[in-house]
Every structure is written in structure tokens, then in C-alpha cells.
Amino acid sequence: MTDQTGHPRHRPSIADSLQSGEQLLRQAGRDFLVHLYAALRSLKLYPVENEQVQRALDEVTSSANLLLELEDELEVRITGEFIFVNATRLRLSLDNFASFSHVLTTLRQAGIGVIRVGGDVDRREWQIFISQLLSSAGREGDANKFAELQERLVRGSVVHIVVEGMVEDEDDFDDEEQAKEVAKRTYERTVAVTKEVVNSVRMGRSASVKKVKRAVQGIVDQVLSNEVSLVGLTTIRDYDEYTFVHSVNVTIFSVSIGKRLGLTKLQLYDLGLAALFHDVGKSRIPLDILNKTGALDDDEWRIMQAHPWLGVLTLFGLRGYGEIPYRAMIAAYEHHMKVDLTGYPKSIRDRNLSVYSKIIAVADGFDAATSRRVYQTTPLQPADVLKEMWENPRRGQDPVLVKAFINLTGVYPVGTCVILDTYEIGVVHAASSDPSQMHRPVVRVVVNADGVSLGEGFLIDLTDNDGSGNFNRSIIKVADPDRYGITPSDYFV
Amino acid sequence: MTSPTHEHEQEPAPEGLAEVHDLMQVLIKGVRAIQLYLPNNPVYQRALENIRTAFGPVWEMTDELELQVHEAELLWDGAQVLSQDNRSESIPWLLFKDGVRRLTMLPGAEDEEIVRLLQVLGKARNLVTDSPDDLLTLLWDQDFHAIKYDYVDLGMEEVPRLERSEEEPARPPEHVQQQIQEEVQDEQPQGIVSIDDFDSTLYFLDEREIEYLKHEIEREYSQDLRGNVLRMLFDLFELQTYSTVRSELVSIVQNFIPYLLAVGDFRSVALVLRELRTVLERSRELLPEHREQLETLPDTLSEPEALGQLLQSLDEATVHPTEDELGALFRELKPEALTSVLSWLPKLANERVRSLLYGAATRLAKAYPDQLVKALDEEDEPVLLETIRLAEQLKLPPLVPALGALFPRTGPEVRRATAKALAAMGTPGALKQLEQAIVDADREVRVDAVRAIGAKRHRAAIAVIEEVVAGRKLRDADLTEKTAFFEAYALLAGEKGMNRLKELLEPKGLLRRKEDPQIRACAAMALGRIDAKEAREVLQRATSDKEPLVRNAAQRALQGDKQA
């Protein structure tokens, strides 16, 4: 059998059909979520009769109908950081991460865990549902808001859209504790593996590649499922030798940026491996230079600047790779090169900096500046570092990736100590999931307005408002945690 | 059904145990089938079908099949569903030894993921000790959705735990409160981040930026990684003058080349060879030992063993380089490599590779004809045939004596090829060498040679040909050979050959024995090649000869003459 071009017609296998079916569902699911986001945004900004609102409602209706035609049912479920449409997990990409994030936050704020849509849903029902969803999401601290939302939907004769709540709070707490524990184990093990590799190199022994692979795979898994806990751990200081901890932190930041850029799981692994090894060349720098507390003299600085290319030589020496880790070599070599190819080492031949090297350079710059190192006993405040990265072109970092990094961290990165307008002190716990509210992170209040330390404290979302658009709390100042005896990392361990 | 032996055996067997047990049995057969057969094999397909069928009853009673992994058994709901004591065969052990403690399958696993799981199990079973992978890393790569596994990180039990910092004594609240107030009241104190500074819209990625990042990611995965790394190494070599560093770099490059060849990356090998020249030219303070090592690197690659490996890998590779890439590599090879290339040409099974390699050999031969001459010294017939074929195509004068030297020492096939090659070259030198083929033992060689000599009017050979024409031996030859010799004779002798041919065609006198009709016919055809009145008269007479063969030949010769 041939097609119109005379080529033999390919008869799709069952696997092909399944795959194309799943791809179709993913695409339709993504379209639906993007349209839902557009409807939420436009209904928030304009009256219902506005043309943009009407168009958005048309689109959300038709994209939902398409899914209903494909599968006879439509279920949107939130699990952790993921959104599932009819049990298919939707992957973040550059085109949709902000929209997904907004939908996720809105549903969470309204206490919704699952939305089920029946076959005969119409545009009117979508309009009521979305309006009620917005209203419910905006009511902070109202324990009954989910029940009321359900009731309003019934009163509005919305019978084809049914919502179910989030899992119980207690379970949430358990899950959060469990997630924190898993993140901790991942972090500890990755530091241990990094230490083993670096020490093996220092002693001329071979290192276990299996363990490195597993460690990076673990980081990727955690970034995909439990990013907040893992990123929180990057605030830890003095856990082990700076080089090991720093390499792990850079890996976490890099993989997190990669996730925002829509990299696949296997691509995130490539990036993570490159990040973990970016400073492996330091294993060949004499320890007295590496650990020197005073300023480095010219010769010492020259030796220190050799670590990128020493990294390449080191990686060639690591045995046991099925394939030589080229990307890791390139990132090790390039991570101190600036976008105009100045920096070090020098380049003679043509070179286009790898995007992975540029991501790692951003993550490296941020973590190095916020860390306490032998020659930098007072770390800079994360928000200051971020600001400097953004404003100082001499750093030579890719401005688009710096922007993407700020998208990841928010303007107050995790671990930043802040004073609120309530005169409470907080530690930034997570970036806001609403990309338009990057200056309003989730904060753990650790000292109350009376100056009393609160121990574990409590989490508040700075995007919460009183229902009339006034925010309940705002950051007025970044503070030095040492001044208040606060160790930010304690709240993530 | 095997009786459960686990500690839970006292408890009543869970409902559905038989179904799960059956499923385990077909899964084991599936691992074997997937390892032993190709996907189109009926055994393979039947095994998969059995697995899919066996999942059916299991999904009727549960929507999650959670198996506990022990050293020699798998348990479901506390009951044993698989027991395998022999570790080399055991699936439970395969899972257990790498840390898997629980394997969970969800509906849908049987569609496609189960095949990948079984493939991974098969692969994991064959991993060597120092492999960069284990079962867990392989499972991770699969990114399953309907199959989950829980594991313990073996060997990581002693890792120090992250602990909170030591608690400091609480500071007096009023003191803290005062500090906060002071800090907030400071006018524009350092560290304040104004919201204006962080206008959120600044940090949204716009369309152009998103496109840029997409392009960057595409570029990341379309770049020539090895080429990139090689350029780094050569930059380093030029910039770093430390002898220890350079020694390490030389060693890396030396070891890298066989690896590149093994993976079929011929373009990168060519890049190495090309860059070596640059590095040798530009590097400062290059130690003599490093210079020598770098200079001899291409020679190593041109050595027969190394080149043999290269060509073998080319022949066996599934993806082949373009002619440009291969050409780039061969351009960098030393001339001595040509003999090896030619020796490999006849052995190659892959037509495309053969053709690519032939192209490369042609370029090399043109550049180094002396190497082709050297190759003509070979004893190996297939090599000689390839070399002669190339010589025929290139028509290079320096090859002529070496070709001529083949006649006395080689077999008929090579001599035929040689005669053909010399004939194609057609230069006086080539025809001179061809003269020795006129009396070759092989009929085909003789015919080719004499035809070429005749066609090119190589009159120096007239004596030898006349001797043959006059000799007895030709009388025993077939008509084609006789014709070839007679025509060549006529072409070379011209009118001077008239008498001999006339005598053969129409002998005079009673006692003279007539030649056999074939010889007379050949003489007639030969006369047709002589542009002379007398020749035509003789042929005219022969048109009424008694022998039909002679009559026909004479008529054809006359017609040919008219046409001419």
C-alpha cells in the first residue's frame, strides 16, 4: 500500500498509536490550561461583557470540548507541583510555565485538588465557574471557602463542572515533612558522592560513576517533584567543604533553571551532571591555595584560574563512562567565560558558549556570592546578589538567563531574611508561584512584631490580600539574619 | 503453584494470588524471550501477548500491583508470588542487589512499559562490574509512568546528616523589637530593596527571549560535542606551555583517536589531524619530544593495523560518513596508507563504503602515484586488481613500467586487467609494455593486447604480430582471435602486408595447399582494412570463392570498405 507520494504507507503500531494518542492529549491538555489561564486573567481584569473575556471563554469552552471528544471525560488534577489532565502529566515548557504556575496557584488558593468536567458542559457554566474560582481564590484564610465554592456552583446550576478539595491538611503536613526528608537525603548523598569523586581525584583513585549518575538523577527527580524543599537546602552553610556543597547547590539551581526552560528529564540529567562537575578541576588545585583565607597573590590566582581547564583534564581521566562526559567537560571549561568570550580560559579557536555553561555560570555566580567561603566570611544577601547580577553587565552573564534565574528565585531568593511591614521578621521559604508577583514570596515568619522568636514560625503567602486588593503583608527591607541570630538554613533542614 | 514459604504462610492466601503468580511466571519467560529473540520473532510476540493476557485478571481484582522485593522472592500482599534461588537467573535478586525494595505496576503498564522493563532487566543482568550503570540508573532513564520502584541507596548509610545549627540563647524580645524599628526607620539604609527596583514585568521572558532560549537549547543538542572538546584541547595545548600539561594533552589526544575511530567519528579524526598541523606551527616553546609525538600521530593512523581497524569499522558501521568527511580524513593520511586502503577495497562488503573509499583512494593515488607503483608490487591478487583498476582510471604515466612488470609474474585475471589498463592508457609506453601480452598464454589477454595495438597503430609491434599471423599456433585459435590478429596486422602493415594476406587468401600453384577457410576469411577481412586498389581486386575475386565463409568475408570486407 502506498500513499499519494508513492511511498509505502506506514501502518502505525500499537505503540505508535498510544504515543500519538498521548501526545495529542498532552497538547490538548496544554491548550486547555493556557486558555483557562487566559480566561482567569481576563475575567480578573475586565467585566464579563468585554470582548477579550468573551473570546477567552469561547476558547476555554472549545478546548475543553476537544478534550471531551478525545477522551469522553476531562479531569484536571493537582499533585504536588504537577498538573495532570486525564492522568497525563503536563510538562512545563518555555511557552507555558507562567500560565501553568498561575492556574496551579489559583486552584490551590481556592482549595481545589480536582476539577471534573462532564460531556455537556457549556460556555455559561465555564463563565460561572471561573468567576467563582477567582472570587474563592482571593479570600485568604477563609476555611469554608471551598465548601462555599461548591455551594455557589450548585446555586449557579453548574452541574457539569465538579470540584474536589485538596488532600487533608494533616496529610499535607506529613507529605511536606516526608518531602523535606527525601530532599535532605538527596542533598546529603549528593554532597557525599561529590566529596568521594573529588577526593578520589585528589588521591589519584578512580571514582564510582554509578553513584554520580544516581546522585544527579536524584537531584533531577527532586527538582521535578519537590523543588521547594531542595532549593531551600541550598541556603545551608558549613555542612561540608565549600567545594562539595557549592557543586551540589549549583546543580540544584541549574536543574531548576533547566526545568523552567522546558528541558526533558534526560536533558536535565545532562545539565545536572555538567553542573555537578563544573568545579571538578579544583580537585587538582593545591589545598593551601584552595583554602587560603587571605587574598591570593598573582601566581596563586593564576593557578586558581586554571581550574576550568584542569576540569577538562580531570574528566578525561575519570574512567567508567560509557560515553565521555563531553557536556560536563565543556561546562567545566566555559563556566568562567563571559558571553563575549573574555574571562578565562582564553579562546583561540571559534567558540559559541554552550547554553548549559551559561546556565551554570549564573547558578555558580549566585551561589558563590551568597556562600560563606574561606576568603569571603560574610556572605552577601541573596537579594543583593541577584540585583547585582541583573545590573552589572561586567559579570558577563547571559542577561536572558539571569532573567530566567530571577523568574526561578523571585526577587527575594529562598533563605533571604526580610522585615515585613508588620515589623515581623521572616525567612523567604519559596518564590511566589505567580510569576507576576515575584516580589511577594512565601515567607516563614520567625520573629513576631513584639520581637519574640517563634521557633518553627508559620508560613504566609505575601500575595494574600484582604479581598479588596490590599495585601496583608509586604516586605519593606532585607535584613542581615546574623543581626537577629537567625540561621535561615535551619528552617529548611 | 508453588506453596508460599514466607513467614506469612500461616495466613490465608490473599484473593488473586494465583493470578499474580501466573503473571510472574509469564514475566520470567518474557525476560528470556526478549533477551533471546528479535521483536518480529513469533516467540517474542507470543511471550508479550501472554504477559498482556496475564495482566487482565490481575487488574480485575486490583488497580495497583505492589510487589515487595526480597533476596530470592517477590511477595504480594505478604504472600510469595515468585521464588528463584539461583542468583544468576533470579529476577528478585537482580532487583534486590541494586537496592530495589518495592516494584509497583499500575494499569497501562502492560501496554508498552512492561516491554521496556523486561529489556532493562535483561540489560542489567549482563552489566559488568565497572559499568557506569546499574539497574537503578537504567530504570531511571526509562521515565516510567505506570511502573514505580522504591529503593534504598546502598553504601550511603554512613553519610553525615544535615543538622540545624546550635541554638543560640534567645535574644530579649524588646531588644529585637528595637533593632527592627531602628533598621526600618533608617533612611534608605543599605540592603533595602525597593519594589520599583524589582518591577516584576522586567523579569518576564518576552517572545524574543523565549525564542532565543529555545534556539540555544536546540543548538546545545545539535552541536558537534567532540569537535568542541577537541578545539578546547588544542587551544589548551597552544596556551599552556607547562610540559606536564602538554604531555597529558598529547596522551589524551593519542588515546582519543582510537575511541573516535571506534565510534565512527571520522570527521573528528580528520579535525585532529588538521589541527595537529596548526598546533605544530603555532605552539610556543614546544619541546622536541612533544613535537615528535605530534608529528608521528598521523603516521600511526596510516599504519596498516590502525587503518585496517578504521576500514573494518567503516564497513561494519550502520551510519556512514559522507564522501566529504571521509575525504577530509583521508586527505590527512600519509601516502603509505594507500596500499592498506587498496588491500581493503576488495574485502569491503558494503557497496556505499566501497564507493566512498574508492573515491578517497583515487584522490590519494593522484596525489601520490609512487604509492600506487608500490602497490603494484603486491602479491595479493585482489589488491593488484584494485590497484590496476585505479591505474586504468587515472592513466598516470609513472605506472606503466610497473604494470608491464605484472605480465611475467601474475595470473591470468591480473594479466587481463593489466592488458585492459594498458590498452586504456594507450600511450606509446603503455603499448610497448603491451607487446609482451601479444604472446601471452591467455587468449583474452592476447586478444585485448593485439586489438589495442592495432587500434593505436603501434607499428613497433608489427614483427611480433606478423610472426603470429604466419605461425602455426594461430591456426588452432578461435575465429575471434584469428580475426583480431589479422586485422591488427593489416592496420599496422598497410600495403606492405598485401602479399602475405593475398597469398593466404588465394594461394597460387598446384602444389600449394590452401589455408583453411577461417584463415582465408580472416585474411579477406584484413584486406578490407587496407586501403588499396589491389586489395579490393583480390577481395572482388574472392566474392566468387567456393567457400561460403570466404565469400561472405570478402563481401563484408568490401562493404566495410565502401562504408569507410
| Average pLDDT, consecutive stretches of 10 residues, N- to C-terminus, chain B (564 residues) | 42 84 95 91 94 95 93 93 90 94 94 94 87 92 92 80 79 89 68 49 77 95 94 96 95 87 80 91 92 88 78 73 71 79 84 80 87 90 92 92 95 95 94 94 94 93 92 89 93 89 78 78 92 89 89 89 48
Question: What DSSP character marks residue B83?
Answer: E
Q: Which whole number is the average pLDDT over A432-455?
A: 88
Beta bridge partners of A83: A78
With an 8 Å Cβ cutoff, are B132 and A210 in contact? yes
Determine the distance in angstroms separating the CA of B297 from the nearest CA of chain A, rounded to an integer.
19
What is the pTM (predicted TM-score) of this model? 0.73
3-state secondary structure of B500: helix
Q: How far apart are CA A275 and CA B125, in angstroms?
A: 31
Question: Does the structure show a pLDDT above 50 at A13?
Answer: no
- State the pLDDT confidence band at A124, using cuts at 50, 70 and 90: very high
Query: Which amino acid appears at position A452 of this protein?
Result: V
In sign, the C-alpha dihedral spanning A137, A138, A141, A145 is negative
- State the pLDDT confidence band at A94, using cuts at 50, 70 and 90: low
Residues of B in contact with A379 (CB under 8 A): none
The three three-digit cell numbers of residue A319, written as one number = 574512567
With an 8 Å Cβ cutoff, are B165 and A451 in contact? no
Question: Does the structure show a pLDDT above 90 at A305?
Answer: yes
With an 8 Å Cβ cutoff, are B179 and A484 in contact? yes
Q: How high is the pLDDT of residue A8?
A: 42
The three three-digit cell numbers of residue B180, written as one number = 527592627
Phi and psi at residue B152, to the nearest 5°: -110, 145
Tell me which residue in B168, B172, B210 faces A95 most closely, judged by beta carbons: B210
Q: How far apart are CA B447 and CA B465, in angstroms?
A: 11
- State the pLDDT confidence band at A347, using cuts at 50, 70 and 90: very high
Q: How far apart are CA A254 and CA B249, in angstroms?
A: 30
Q: How high is the pLDDT of residue A367?
A: 93
Phi and psi at residue A403, to the nearest 5°: -60, -45
Element (DSSP H or E) covering residue A478: strand A475-478
Q: Which whole number is the average pLDDT over A317-338?
A: 85
Q: Annotate A123-153 with b (16+ C-beta within 10 A) or e (fewer).
A: eebbbbbbbbbbebbbbbeeeebbeebbebb
Q: Which whole number is the average pLDDT over A370-374?
A: 74
- State the pLDDT confidence band at A428, using cuts at 50, 70 and 90: very high
Residues of B in contact with A235 (CB under 8 A): none
Phi and psi at residue B126, to the nearest 5°: -100, 5
Q: Return the minimum-mean-pLDDT range out of A74-88, A479-493, B167-181.
A: A74-88
Q: Are A56 and A42 in contact (CB under 8 A)?
A: yes
Query: Which amino acid appears at position B462 of this protein?
Result: I
Q: How far apart are CA A224 and CA A245, in angstroms?
A: 20
Q: Which whole number is the average pLDDT over A466-481?
A: 86
Query: Which amino acid appears at position B135 of this protein?
Result: L
- Counting every residue written for chain A, the total comes to 493
User: Beta-carbon neighbour count of residue A41 at 10 Å?
Assistant: 18
Round the average pLDDT of chain A to a whole number and report it.
86
* Cell 552577601 sits on residue: A380
Q: How high is the pLDDT of residue A12?
A: 42
Best residue of A18, A19, A88, A213 to probe chain B, by most B CBs closer than 10 Å: A213
Q: How high is the pLDDT of residue A141?
A: 63
Residues of A in contact with B220 (CB under 8 A): 327, 354-356
Q: How high is the pLDDT of residue A210?
A: 86
Q: How high is the pLDDT of residue A433?
A: 76
Best residue of B151, B166, B229 to probe chain A, by most A CBs closer than 10 Å: B229
Question: Does the structure show a pLDDT above 70 at A131?
Answer: yes
Instruction: Pick the residue from chain A with its C-alpha nearest to B155.
Output: A211
Residues of B in contact with A210 (CB under 8 A): 131-134, 137
The three three-digit cell numbers of residue B249, written as one number = 594533552
Identify which has the larger pLDDT, B10 or A112. A112
Q: Are A117 and A74 in contact (CB under 8 A)?
A: yes
Sheet holding B79-83: strands in order across? B79-83, B73-76, B65-69, B100-105, B147-151
3-state secondary structure of A12: coil
Question: What DSSP character marks residue B399?
Answer: G
Query: Which amino acid appears at position B12 of this protein?
Result: P
Phi and psi at residue A162, to the nearest 5°: -120, 135
Query: Which amino acid appears at position A468 of this protein?
Result: S
Residues of B in contact with A476 (CB under 8 A): 184, 192
With an 8 Å Cβ cutoff, are A490 and B165 in contact? yes
Q: Which whole number is the average pLDDT over A76-90?
A: 79
Of the candidates B418, B463, B466, the one whose C-alpha atom is nearest the C-alpha of residue B442 is B418
Q: How high is the pLDDT of residue A340?
A: 93
Tell me which residue in A324, A347, A403 faces B235 most closely, judged by beta carbons: A347
Of the candidates A374, A217, A208, A219, the one whose C-alpha atom is nearest the C-alpha of residue A282 is A374
Question: Does the structure show a pLDDT above 80 at A1?
Answer: no
Q: CA angle at residue A453 from A452 to A456, to 5 degrees?
A: 140
Of the candidates A331, A81, A104, A365, the one whose C-alpha atom is nearest the C-alpha of residue A223 is A81
Q: Which whole number is the average pLDDT over A55-62?
A: 93
Q: Are A194 and A280 in contact (CB under 8 A)?
A: no
The three three-digit cell numbers of residue A458, written as one number = 508559620
Which parts of A141-202 are beta strand (E)?
Answer: 161-165
Q: Give B486-489's long-range contacts (Cβ < 8 A, gap of 24+).
A: B486/B522, B486/B523, B486/B525, B486/B526, B487/B451, B487/B454, B487/B522, B487/B525, B487/B526, B487/B529, B488/B450, B488/B451, B488/B453, B488/B454, B489/B454, B489/B462, B489/B465, B489/B526
Question: Does the structure show a pLDDT above 60 at A393?
Answer: yes
End-to-end alpha-carbon separation of chain A, Å?
Answer: 63
